[in-house]
Copies of this chain bind each other. A is one copy, B any other.
Amino acid sequence: MKNFFEPKVITVVGVSKEKDKIGNVIFRNLKDKFKTIPVNMHEKQILGVKCYYSVSDIKEKVDMAVIAIPAEFVVPVIKECGEKGIKEVIIISSGFKESGNERLEYELFKVLENYKIKCIGPNCLGVFDAHSGLDCLFLPEEKLKRPEKGGISFISQSGALGVAMLDILSDGGYGFSKFISYGNGLNLNETDFLEYLSKDKNTKVICMYIEGIKDGKRFLEVASKIKKPIIAVKGGKFSKGVKAIMSHTGSLAGEYEVYKGAFKQVGIVLVDSLEEMFDTAKMFEKIENKNKKRIQIITNGGGYGVLMSDALEENKLELAEMNPENRSYLREKFPRAVSIGNPIDLLGDADAQRYKIALEVCEKDKNIDLIILILLLQTPGIDEKIIEVAKHVKKPVLVVSTGSHSKQIISKKLEKAGIPVYAYTDQLARALKNVL
């Protein structure tokens, strides 16, 4: 499957001269990073690159083909790919099972089987790999920012949903590895991608959006052997959802409760929303020792401390009890109004230096495993200095920080420094419960 992500030579079939057409966008996304050969019956060259009449006409060895032509022409082109020895194809084209064209999809299936071709799609967006630079997404940068390199991978039955997520992730400091949109999942499905990503060195956490699972038994077997965290969102929990799915990717959703039980057994974290999936994923990247659970809260806003305590308790998470000696030490160091408990309330006039003193004590306190920093960026004392202070702490630090976009510059820098940031207390607590 490696040729899907790190091919040496790619051909894109269906590269129009028109800038906005799918094939053209894909060709432009690929050509600077990979040797990419355009195929189009009507053109001699595209963007200065020699264009071929058909796949059969290409002389050199091709590792992977991306197909972006109308559904009715796909089968003959796949045959050509097979004859040429191409073993990996991504079929972007829609117009198969999902629009009632079961027969055409079956025909495609037979041809792929005949030539032993592995296929992503049809009816999909294909692949985006932040590390290799492979990018089939036919959306220009101004429509879709791409996230930076990192450890989160995302397998999605739904392309649109995946794209919206990539766009959101590009804003945060989330590091990304591979996105696979597999649409109808004709001969490669969720289980195959899960297995591949479990061995991919760049992938640390696997996220999945699943509507239906093709082969439940194999899926669970594969998942049960994977050590990396797997976080899944299930679309189609209810009957109405099932109806919507049938017309969308043409696969039948099982009962949600069945999924829930089975996923739990093999260690997949099944979450309720896309938001929770990524909130959880970025925390998995940070917290390695799942047995260290005692949490200390440090805040510069009293009300936020209260809500954070509430949210931890609600999710059955454990508040740390600081060593009394350390408490006495802080008592002496800080103004009288500062409250030294859990939460430690450093007050609205706290600056990075006050946070530093509290953090140093929490860092060495043996009763504390994990630190939640609440940073109200609206207060006068908080500026970028806090980033330096927070990033050198040797215990896991998680941040809650609420504010307008302009304020989020600090949040983004914190995330780049490896510290997960959440806008709301309950968002953080929910993710933490999934990780611990």
Residues in A lying within 8 Å of B, measured CB to CB: 20, 94-95, 98-99, 139, 143-145, 156-165, 167-168, 170-171, 209, 211, 233, 235-241, 243-245, 247-249, 272-275, 300-307, 309-310, 312-314, 319, 336-337, 339, 341-343, 345, 348, 376-380, 402-407, 423-427
Complex-state Cα separation, A313 to B244, whole angstroms: 13
For A244, A304, A305, A377, the residue with the greatest tally of chain B CB atoms inside 10 Å of its CB is A244
A313 touching B402 by the CB < 8 A rule?
no
17 A-B residue pairs with CB within 8 Å: A139-B379, A139-B380, A143-B377, A158-B303, A160-B304, A163-B376, A164-B301, A164-B403, A235-B306, A237-B314, A238-B314, A241-B309, A243-B309, A243-B341, A248-B305, A249-B302, A274-B307
Residues of B within 8 A of A248 (CB): 302-303, 305-306, 339, 345
Residues of B within 8 A of A404 (CB): 145, 167-168, 170-171
Complex-state Cα separation, A377 to B143, whole angstroms: 8
Shortest Cβ distance from A169 into chain B, in angstroms?
Answer: 9
Residues of B within 8 A of A379 (CB): 139, 143, 160, 163
Interchain CB contact (< 8 A) of A273 among B243, B272, B380, B424: B424
Complex-state Cα separation, A243 to B344, whole angstroms: 12
A245 touching B306 by the CB < 8 A rule?
yes
B95 touching A310 by the CB < 8 A rule?
no
Residue ID in chain B nearest A382 by CB atoms: B143
Residue ID in chain B nearest A147 by CB atoms: B404
Residue ID in chain B nearest A340 by CB atoms: B247
Residues of B within 8 A of A161 (CB): 301, 303-304, 307
Residue ID in chain B nearest A158 by CB atoms: B303
Complex-state Cα separation, A379 to B142, whole angstroms: 11
Interchain CB contact (< 8 A) of A167 among B162, B402, B427: B402
Residues of B within 8 A of A168 (CB): 402-404, 423
Residue ID in chain B nearest A304 by CB atoms: B161
Interchain CB contact (< 8 A) of A238 among B143, B163, B310, B423: B310
9 shortest interchain CB distances as A-B pairs: A158-B303, A160-B301, A248-B302, A161-B303, A235-B306, A238-B313, A164-B402, A247-B339, A171-B404
A405 touching B171 by the CB < 8 A rule?
yes
Complex-state Cα separation, A352 to B378, whole angstroms: 39
Residues of B within 8 A of A425 (CB): 273
Complex-state Cα separation, A300 to B163, whole angstroms: 12
Residue ID in chain B nearest A238 by CB atoms: B313
Interchain CB contact (< 8 A) of A158 among B143, B165, B304, B427: B304
Complex-state Cα separation, A211 to B211, whole angstroms: 42
B310 touching A236 by the CB < 8 A rule?
yes
Complex-state Cα separation, A341 to B307, whole angstroms: 41
Interchain CB contact (< 8 A) of A380 among B20, B243, B310, B403: B20
Shortest Cβ distance from A46 into chain B, in angstroms?
Answer: 20
